[in-house]
Each structure stands twice: as structure tokens, then as C-alpha cells.
Amino acid sequence: MSDSQPELAKEQGDSPSFELDTDQVDEIVDALDAADFAAVRKLCAPLHYADVADLLEWLSTADRLRLLDVLGDDLDHDSLAELDDNVRDEILEHWGLDNIVQAVTNLDSDDAVDFIEDLDEENKRKVLDAIPAEDRTFILESLKYPEDSAGRLMQRELVTVPEFWTVGKTIDFMRQSAEDAPDSLPEFFYDIYVVDPQHKPIGAVGLSSLLRTRRPVKITEVMWEQMLIVPITMDQEDVAYLFRQRDLVSAPVVDENGRLVGAITIDDIVDVIDDEHEEDMMLLAGVGEDDLYDAALDTTRSRFVWLAVNLLTAVLASAVISLFEATIEQIVALAVLMPIVASMGGNAGTQTLTVAVRGLATKELTATNATRVIMKELLVGSINGVLFAVIAGCVAWLWFDDIALGLVIALAMVVNMTIAGLAGTSIPILLERAGADPAIASSVFVTTVTDVVGFFAFLGLAALIML
């Protein structure tokens, strides 16, 4: 983005237009509907590629494909890198091979890999055969690494210098490269790397250090040796943790032999952080990651699984209730009140669970403080249990004019909310220790526990005390 394009309007002023407004979108849709393609192209021309990506996402499938056809070669391929996977797949299916090849050739190496990995085997081969040999080699190389690894995230383009160079020589080299082989330099970079004769990284130099330093100074004098080096197979979630923990803007990536093969920059990491967030949130609710752009049938199918699990646990809770059919027949007020105990336990459990899942994801909940956190949640659960026991007990007593009923709901409340605190912390911790993602099944387990315990304690105590 550092290339000067002074012909375009500046986005300045008190309220910068940093997102597409509804009016603009409506105008474009109207122009599409009216088949006024010149107007569509004119309206889209000043848009940033990220806004074009948003526009494509917001449109209906029919409008989306029409817009693509209208824009044709005017489409900035960088837009494709910003699209949601489902939307991109739709475009890939719609497009001919020519369009795909052109897009892959234009994109940065890491975005091109992202783009090509979703194609089926036949189309992948066809595209690879059609692109320049150099791009092909890199893409094939990247595709060898697991989908969520550093090898997929990294860019191959980087600036490396030998350890005996000076600051001046390094700057001259960059100026010469920019003139002789501009493609060898990354579009944006923040660090250059000092390598030994085996091409192993021995230090990093931030560009701001380089610019602060006089030309005759040796590069090894300004380099930062404590840099963190990312192995090419490292999981992207761990790489993101590293970037956050150390406030990094870029990091070098090495292959199995310790040789420097690429660099990861913060813009890719921000996307990873966003994806991980989305995953945590969606898993907790039992939803797939790309749900919003999924076709209705795909969404129905992916949510069905979680709902089926929920049905099983709901039947289990019903089975507990059916143990006490005779009791309910005699005191029908029990049927009226029993959802209260289960619901309060479920909510208290979900609160605790959310804190624990988030703590595990940010590595703030660890082996060191796990016992302390569980003890705290037990305490919080039992204090709130006692408070709500008093409130719910009084409500039940006054409502049904029956002090025994008030006592029963109060006791059941204390039991269930204390258990909720225990289950909400210990279940995700145990899942994590067992190697599972603590977000995925915790919620089912926790609400099953609070439903079963809630109904059993309330109805069981009623049978014991009131009959």
C-alpha cells in the first residue's frame, strides 16, 4: 500500500468513510438489477479491495456472480484473499480456469496457497500446470505442510543479509534490488534477517533500527539476537500466541534443518486470532465456523448434530423426572417449579464454563492456578446458591403457601449451583488434559450435569420431605 496513487481520493476528515454504507450498496444492487453495467463499474472503481470483498459477501449468490462478471478484469485480486471460505468456493465454482490462474498468479504467495488449497484435485493440477514454474514450486512446497501450520502462513519473499555487511551496504542492496528485481522484495516488510553461510538466521534488524543507524556500522551491531524463530510445522494457534505474548510484528520461519525459508507478518496473525476467536465462540454454541455464509441446508445439517446430542441429554433429564411421576401426581406444584432449579444451575454452570474456556484459550488458566480457580468457583457457586435459595424459597413459599415447598427448592438450589461451579471449571480442564478442545463438548456435559442434578435434588428432596 506504500505505492503512491495520488489520483485517488483521500479518506480524511472527521468521519472517515471506512466502511461501505447501505446507500452505496443499494445503488450498486439497483444498477445491477437495471443491467447498467457501466454504472456498476463506476460505483465500484473507487472502492478499496477489502470493501469489494465485503460487498461480495453481503450480496445474494445471484447478484454476487453477476457483479463478478460485470467487474471482469477490473476486479482487484486482493479482494479474493479477504473473502469468507464459503463465498470464495462459490466464486471458484463459477469461474473458468483462466480467471483462477490469473488470480493465483497475481496474489501474494501465502494468499495464493490459501486460494488454491480448496480446489478439487483435478482443478488444482490444471491451475498448477498453468502458472509460472517458480510460483508452482513454492505452492507445492507450502501444500506439503498441514493446513494450520506456520508453513502455510508464511510468505516466501524476505530480505536476508550476510553477517559481515554494514548498514550502508544493506540499504544499497535494497535500493539495487528494488530496481533490478522488484519481485524479490516483499511488498511490505518490517524486519530484515541476518543469516550465516548455511542460511540459518542469527538475528533480526527492525527497519526503524536500520534507519536510525549510520552507514558504516556493522549489521551485527544493530541486530536483535533474541528473536523467536518459528519452526515451519508449528501450529498457527501457537504462532499467534507468540506474536501476542512478545508484541511481534514479524517472525522468521525455518525448515527442519534450521534454514530460513520465510517470514510470518502480523496481518496474517490478526486473521488467525480472529479465526480462533470465532472457533471458540461457535464451538461453545455448537455451530460451524462459516455458518453465516453456509447454504441453509448445510447450516441445518451441521447444527443438527449438536441438537441431536442435546435431545439425548434432554431425554436423560426427562428420565430423571419420570422417576418421580408419583410424587408430581400428588404435588403438581413441583412440575411448575422444577424448571427454575435446572435453569439456574444451567446458567451458573455456563458462566463458570465460559470463564474457564476463555482462560484455557489465553493460557491464563494453567496447572499452577487450576486448583485455586476450582476452589474459587465452588465458593462463588455456593454463595450465590445460598442467596438464590433464600429468594427462590420465599417465592415458592408465598406462591403456593407451603413452607415445605420453599425449603425443598432452597436446598435443591444450593446443591445445584455448587455443583454447577464445580462442573463448569473441572469439565473443561479435564477435557484439555485429555487432549480435546475444551470448548467443544463442555457445554453439553455441564448442562447435562446441572439438569440431572437439578431435577433429582428438587424432586428427590420433595419426595423425602413432603410425602
6: contact with its own copies by CB under 8 A? yes
DSSP letters spanning 401-427: T-HHHHHHHHHHHHHHHHHHHHHHHHH
| 230-231, strands of its sheet edge to edge | 230-231, 250-254, 260-265
DSSP letters spanning 248-264: -SEEEEE-TTS-EEEEE
Closer Cβ to its own copies, 119 or 453, answer by number: 453
Distance CA 258, CA 7 (A): 46
Closer Cβ to its own copies, 130 or 231, answer by number: 231
Phi, psi of 172 (to 5 degrees): -60, -40
430: contact with its own copies by CB under 8 A? no
106: contact with its own copies by CB under 8 A? no
460: contact with its own copies by CB under 8 A? no
Q: Give, as ranges, the residues between 217 and 246 that touch its own copies (CB under 8 A).
A: 221-231, 238, 241-246
Closer Cβ to its own copies, 124 or 218, answer by number: 218
Sign of the Cα pseudo-torsion (236, 237, 240, 245, in order): negative
Q: Give, as ranges, the residues between 371 and 400 that touch its own copies (CB under 8 A).
A: 372-373, 376, 379-380, 383-384, 387-388, 391-392, 395
What minimum distance in Å lies between the beta carbon of 150 and its own copies?
Answer: 11
Pairing of strands 191-195, 160-162: parallel
For residues 38 to 77, the per-residue mask of contacts with its own copies, x marking binding by CB under 8 A and - elsewhere, is ----------x-xx--x--xxxx-----------------
Q: Give, as ranges, the residues between 320 and 349 that touch its own copies (CB under 8 A).
A: 321-322, 325, 328-329, 332-340, 342-344, 347-348
CB 356 within 8 A of CB 425: yes
- What would the grid cell of residue 37 be? 453495467
* Of 305, 323, 350, 356, nearest in space to 452 by CA: 323
Collapsing DSSP to helix, strand or coil, 224 comes out as strand
Closer Cβ to its own copies, 136 or 255, answer by number: 255
Q: Which of 291, 397, 404, 466 is close enough to bind its own copies by CB under 8 A?
A: 291
What minimum distance in Å lies between the beta carbon of 400 and its own copies?
Answer: 9
181: contact with its own copies by CB under 8 A? no
For residues 73 to 92, the per-residue mask of contacts with its own copies, x marking binding by CB under 8 A and - elsewhere, is -----------x--------
